Structure 1
């Protein structure tokens, strides 16, 4: 956690935070949220993975410091029972409160708010390099190897354990279909060239499994 806190403090300072004394407390507050027990995919591991992509391709962003702050905040509030884009809207509002409290300039706070909201649908304008970097980093898991992707999908199912299987299959299929309907899953050329095809293959594979016949329950070992 110490390394993550260092990364948080560096991003906030680069973005213009004027309350250095509050940086650690705010970072720890965010980490507590990312470590909530109901999370199985939207965890500190996901946060770290997003930050790693942002750092690796920071040269493609106009304000990578703000992209990093948006990464920290984008799933800071995560309630699997929430509807629509409520989590993203609540996370954006939390970002406002935290960043204003740290003394960030109003323009920086507004931009982080905008970036967090983009992660609700991952629809990014062609000239939005910062939004592209955040959304590409957020969706990077889609392009992982099939075993890693399957662990991601299983973790999502555990987060929605309260949803009956037939309803989950319908809802998850809707999410996957929405992603597949995007003109491109990844916008930054270096990432699109490597990740678009494997990501779409994973999504199609999961969608096929969800929309096929449901597995029959068994009464016991054969």
Structure 2
């Protein structure tokens, strides 16, 4: 937790936040508390760490990597598996803007991080949005995991949606996978796509066949 707290402080400072270290650390601890809520089985601190690791690994692809790091911290700040549509992403984006403003981030930065957070609702970016593309690619990195890790991911997702009956879950999950497979590419940055696209499509196809 300490290293994550330091990572948040560094990203906030890099993005222009003017709050003192104590306030930045308190904000990080508050966020970590959210990331460890009991309804989370996949969207937890491990997911946060994995997304941040990808952002760090490919930071050279983003003009504003610290904004992307903050968006990673905040993209699932609000997470309720029972929420409808993109309510979680909308609420997380609103929360992100308010939190960053309270930490002294420039208004432009707070608004941009909120915009990035909102992109994770559908992982669709406009042309010439390398920051958004990196966040979305990082958020979807699990899709290219090795088979064992991918199975752990799907099991965790099912636990988050334990309230949904099996038939309804299979139908909904199948639709999500089908839409992902229809995309020209799952990953937007060419460097990431070259590494992960084939593995991700293989995992999605295998899961879709199992659901059927």
TM-score normalised by length of structure 2: 0.98
Deviation, 1:125, is 2.0
Match runs of 1:103-122 below 5 Å? 103-122=104-123
Residues 123 and 182, structure 1, Cα contact 8 Å, conserved in 2: no
2:46 match: 45
User: Secondary structure of 2:77's partner?
Assistant: coil
Deviation, 1:136, is 0.5
- Which whole-Å CA distance do the structure 2 matches of 1:120 and 1:177 have between them? 16
- Which whole-Å CA distance do the structure 1 matches of 2:179 and 2:94 have between them? 25
Residues 36 and 45, structure 2, Cα contact 8 Å, conserved in 1: yes
Residues 71 and 134, structure 1, Cα contact 8 Å, conserved in 2: yes
2:94 match: 93
Match runs of 1:1-222 below 5 Å? 1-20=1-20, 21-211=22-212
TM-score normalised by length of structure 1: 0.93
Gaps of 5+ in 2: none
User: Secondary structure of 2:143's partner?
Assistant: helix
Give structure 1 regions of 4+ aligned residues with deviation exceeding 2 angstroms. Answer: none
- Which whole-Å CA distance do the structure 2 matches of 1:108 and 1:129 have between them? 16
Gaps of 5+ in 1: 212-222
- Which whole-Å CA distance do the structure 2 matches of 1:176 and 1:87 have between them? 20
- Which whole-Å CA distance do the structure 1 matches of 2:11 and 2:76 have between them? 17
Residues 77 and 92, structure 2, Cα contact 8 Å, conserved in 1: yes
- Higher gyration radius (CA): 1
- Which whole-Å CA distance do the structure 2 matches of 1:124 and 1:31 have between them? 27
Residues 54 and 137, structure 1, Cα contact 8 Å, conserved in 2: yes
Deviation, 1:175, is 1.2
Deviation, 1:124, is 1.5
- Which whole-Å CA distance do the structure 2 matches of 1:143 and 1:74 have between them? 20
User: Secondary structure of 1:111's partner?
Assistant: helix
Deviation, 1:14, is 0.6
